[in-house]
Every structure is written in C-alpha cells, then in structure tokens.
Amino acid sequence: MKDVAVIGAGMTVFRRRMLETGKELSFLATKMAMEEAGIEKKDIDMVVMGSAPDAFDGIHMKGENLSDGAAGTGKPYVRVFNGGGTGVFAPIAGWWHVASGAADIALVVCEEKMGSCYPHPQTAFRHIWDPILDRPLNPNLVWLFAMEMNRYMSVYNIKKEDIARVAVKNKRNAVGHPCAQIPDEKITIEDVLNSEVMAWPVQRLDISPPSDGASALIFCSADKVRQFTDDPVFVSGVGWNIDSTMWTNRDLYFPQYVANAAKMAYKMAHINNPRKEIDFAEPYDPFDYKELHHMEGLLLCKKGEAPILTREGVTERDGDMPMCPSGGLMGVGNPIAATMGQKVCELYWQLAGKAGKRQIPGDPRIGVGQAWGDIMQMGTVIVMRRG
C-alpha cells in the first residue's frame, strides 16, 4: 500500500443559488486546488467525481456531463455515489486510486447544484424513499431526521437546548470561513429554539441550508510528494459501511454503520484509543443533532455523552476535542457532496496550519472527517495526519 498525501485543496463559496453551472463550479474548485499544488491538468493521472442525486442538477448521468469542468476530459474518470456519504467517500476513492499504484496524482472533485431543482431541492428527495412502502405517504426528507432525532433524544433523555447548542457553535465557527453561507456570530440557543417548527422536533435553525457549490482535493503518492511540499498531510485511515435498506427494522438511536466505518479507518490508522489520539473531528452535521449522533458513532465519546461534552465546551474550537471547526454544514452550507470542503479539505487545512481564522490552537496532528448518507444507513470515515 502506498502512502497518500494531500497537496492541494479548493472550495467555491456555498450559496443557495450560484450563477455558475455545475461544470463551472467544478472548474473553479479544481483550479484553486491545482494552483495550490502547483500542477496543471496534464499532471493529473486520474479523476474521481463525487456528486449526489442527478435530480438536483436535472441531468441524467451527471458525472459524464461534469467531466470537463472537473479536468476529467480524456482521462480515466469515474463517479462514486452514496448519497450524503459521498463528500467523504469520493476522497476515499481518490485514496485507493493512488494507494493501489494506479495513479501518482489523483484529483477528487465534488459538486452539487441544488438550486436547479424545482420547486425545491427537497422535491428530488422524494425519490429516495421506497416506491412501494414509503412514497405513497408523500414523505418529506426532514421526516427521516425528525424521527431519528426524536428517537435519539428520547433514549438518552436529551433536551432540545443541548442540541441547539451545536447549531450555535457551528454557525459561530463558520464566521471567517471565506465560503460560508450562514455564519452567525450573534446567534443564541433561544434563536434556534424559537425558530419555525418544520417537522417536530426539527426546527428551521436545526437544519443546514441547501446550497450550490464545489470542492476539490489533489492526492499524491508519498514517493512524489516532496516535489510539492516539505510538510505533507497524509491519509492514514479510510472506512465505509452500510446498513440495511429496511430502516424501519432497526433502532435509530445509534449509527452502528458509522461505528463500523470508524473502526475500519482507525484500524488502518493504528489508532487504538480514538478519544485520546484524535485531536479534532469533522463529523457530518446536516442537522445539529447529527453532530452529536456521529460523535458517538465515531467512538469519540460514550453513547449519550456527546450532548454533555458539548454543554461543557469540550467540542468548541479551543476545547479538548474540537468538533466542526470549519463551521460544518450548519454554518458553511450543505451542497451535499461538495461538503467534502468542510469534512476533508478542512482536515487538510487544519493539519497544514492553513485554516486562517479557523485554525485550532495547539498544533493538531490527527483529525477525522466523516459523512453519512443514503437512507440513514451509510457511514464514510477518513483519518488524516500531519507528516
């Protein structure tokens, strides 16, 4: 297995609607990453595209359509897809392109253009439901989260204000992120608790917004990395795991699939005690409670303990175990696959000391990023370390 390093990252702004097409967003993110790495299109051996439902962009086989924007034309180019998990899964796929020896330099581009979908991006989410069992009930995506959140809250007797704390922390963390869609320095727990109820217990400020955006990462094999940087950041562990389609047949209070994915990644990264060895994490936070749920899934605390640690400030940027120092999806925005920008690019920026105003104090050495997808069933985990 070859060691794999990151040599460049790029990210567009995330907004509800962007002027640029999906191809153009991909191009902007790719160009930023190539400029940081100091490479051109000809230096890239293979390209991985990550993008979520075709229905957002309104293009069948959208990977093919996006290929030129992602510097994939004339190259080995493949799109991987597992719903919301894609933002971390696409870089995992980038990792094996290099770790296998197939490519020396691989580019990973994640793109989402949710603003194209009418009347609302959630219309596309109608079709994630089982056509026989669920769709006749005219479900909304938020229902899933609401039911999982309710289950999680009731099993551990968690108060809504302890969940709202995550929204507040992440929206504040996003202040100073050059791409952030909804940073908010002044937001309070009361604001979240008083926001409009969408599907109880989910309120408007519990949810990350739909966005357009793209992000890119460039991976390089360890034997070539010294050409590009003296201080590389390496991928040290990857894991992914899926649970059954039959989500009504399992208890939603704990994401076992995330735990399985984390164990796979930690094993590869030789991490025996994640709570001690990992310096910070970017758990997937499309809804505020998901950060807590995933912190537990990532084995970074005991079951049911995440809300308590959050209340104690442990997960703040200057806490012992910072969570979502990027501002996460709650603060920076949620263009599904393109959230690679917060979940994986951020690990690179933090570990390389390039996170600017968002930089975690104390010289972090190991970070973990995670995403979650499909119908509450997919966990994708990546561990990175400084060289």
Partner 1 sequence: MSRKVCVIGVGYSDFNSMTPDIQWKEMMYGACQKAYRDAGIDVRKDVDSFITCGEDYWEGFSIFDEFVPDQIGAVLRPCMTITGDGLYGLGTAYMQIKTGLLDTVLVEAHSKISDLLTPGEIMLHAMDPIFDRPVTGPVQRPRYGGSPTYTKEEPKPLIGATDEKQRVHPYFLAGMEMQHYLRTTGTTEEHCAQIVAKNKQAAFHNPMADYEANITAEDVMGSQYLFKPLKSLEISPNVDGAIAFVLASEERARELGVEPLYMSGFGWCSDTPWLGTREFDGGYAAKAARMAYKMSRIERPREMIDIAEVDDRFSFKELQHLEALDLAKPGEGAMLLEDGELGRDGSIPTNVSGGSLGVGNCYEATGLQKALEIVVQLRGEAGRRQVDDAEIGLAQAWRGIPSNSGAVAIFQKGGA
Partner 2 sequence: MTGNDEMVPKDPRGTHVGNKDIYGRKITYSWWEPEVQYNWALGPAMSRFLEELKKGSIVGRKCRKCRRILVPPRMFCERCYNPTDEWVKIEDTGTIETFSISYIDSDARKIKDPIFIGVISLDGASPKHGIMHYFGEVKADEIHIGMRVKAVWKHVSERTGAITDIKYFKPLKKGGGKK
- The span from the CA of 330 to the CA of 165, in Å, is 12
C-alpha distances in angstroms, 87 versus 83, 109, 112, 200, 302? 9, 9, 10, 27, 26
Q: Based on CB atoms, which residue is closest to partner 2, 6 or 117?
A: 117
**Beta-sheet strands, E only, within 201-268:** 202-203, 212-221, 233-242
151 contacts which partner out of partner 2, partner 1, none, CB within 5 to 8 A by kind? Answer: partner 2
- The span from the CA of 216 to the CA of 344, in Å, is 10
Residues within window 198-227 making contact with partner 2, judged by CB under 8 A: 198-202, 213
Could you please report the per-residue DSSP string of 321-348? S-B-TT-HHHHH-B-GGGGHIIIIIHHH
- The span from the CA of 52 to the CA of 112, in Å, is 7
Which string of x and - marks every residue 346-375 that binds partner 1 (by CB under 8 A)? ---------------------------xxx
Q: Based on CB atoms, which residue is closest to partner 1, 236 or 315?
A: 236
Q: Are the C-beta atoms of residues 262 and 297 closer than 8 Å to each other?
A: yes
Which three-class secondary structure state does DSSP give residue 44? coil
Out of 1, 42, 61, 119, the residue judged to bind partner 2 by CB under 8 A: 119
Out of 35, 40, 64, 318, the residue judged to bind partner 1 by CB under 8 A: 64
Q: Does 257 contact partner 1 by CB under 8 A?
A: yes
- The span from the CA of 369 to the CA of 87, in Å, is 10
Which three-class secondary structure state does DSSP give residue 72? coil
Out of 175, 222, 252, 308, the residue judged to bind partner 2 by CB under 8 A: 252
Out of 32, 105, 163, 262, the residue judged to bind partner 2 by CB under 8 A: 32
Q: Does 250 contact partner 2 by CB under 8 A?
A: yes
Q: Based on CB atoms, which residue is closest to partner 2, 189 or 242?
A: 242
Q: Are the C-beta atoms of residues 306 and 321 closer than 8 Å to each other?
A: no
- Which range of residues in 30-38, 70-78, 191-199, 337-345 is near partner 1 by CB under 8 A? 70-78
Q: Based on CB atoms, which residue is closest to partner 2, 11 or 158?
A: 11
Out of 79, 165, 290, 358, the residue judged to bind partner 1 by CB under 8 A: 79
Which string of x and - marks every residue 53-82 that binds partner 2 (by CB under 8 A)? -----x-x----------------------
Residues within window 24-53 making contact with partner 1, judged by CB under 8 A: 52-53
Collect all residues with Cβ–Cβ distance below 8 Å to 105 and sequence separation of at least 6: 7, 39, 43, 44, 45, 98, 218, 219, 220, 221, 224
Q: Does 140 contact partner 1 by CB under 8 A?
A: no
Residues within window 129-188 making contact with partner 2, judged by CB under 8 A: 131-134, 136-140, 142-143, 146-148, 150-151, 154, 178-179
Which three-class secondary structure state does DSSP give residue 353? coil
- For residue 354, what are the β-bridge partners? none
Task: Give the interface size with partner 1 as a residue count (CB under 8 A).
Answer: 66
Q: Are the C-beta atoms of residues 66 and 30 closer than 8 Å to each other?
A: no
Q: Based on CB atoms, which residue is closest to partner 1, 239 or 325?
A: 239
Evaluate the CA torsion angle 192, 197, 202, 207 in order and state its sign: negative
Residues within window 88-117 making contact with partner 1, judged by CB under 8 A: 89, 93, 96-97, 99-102
Give the CA count within 13 Å in the CB-facing half-sphere of 118. 0
Q: Does 337 contact partner 2 by CB under 8 A?
A: no
Q: For residue 154, count CB atoms less than 10 angstroms from its CB and return exposed for 0-12, middle for 13-18, buried for 19 or more.
A: exposed
83 contacts which partner out of partner 1, partner 2, none, CB within 5 to 8 A by kind? Answer: partner 1
Q: Which residue has the tokens 């050059």?
A: 178
248 contacts which partner out of partner 1, partner 2, none, CB within 5 to 8 A by kind? Answer: partner 2
Binding residues for partner 2 (CB under 8 A): 11-13, 15-21, 25, 28, 31-32, 58, 60, 119-120, 122-123, 126, 131-134, 136-140, 142-143, 146-148, 150-151, 154, 178-179, 196-202, 213, 244-246, 248-252
Which residues here bind partner 1, judged by CB under 8 A? 1-2, 21, 52-55, 58-61, 63-68, 72-83, 89, 93, 96-97, 99-102, 118-119, 124-128, 130-131, 238-246, 256-257, 260-261, 264, 268, 373-375, 377-378
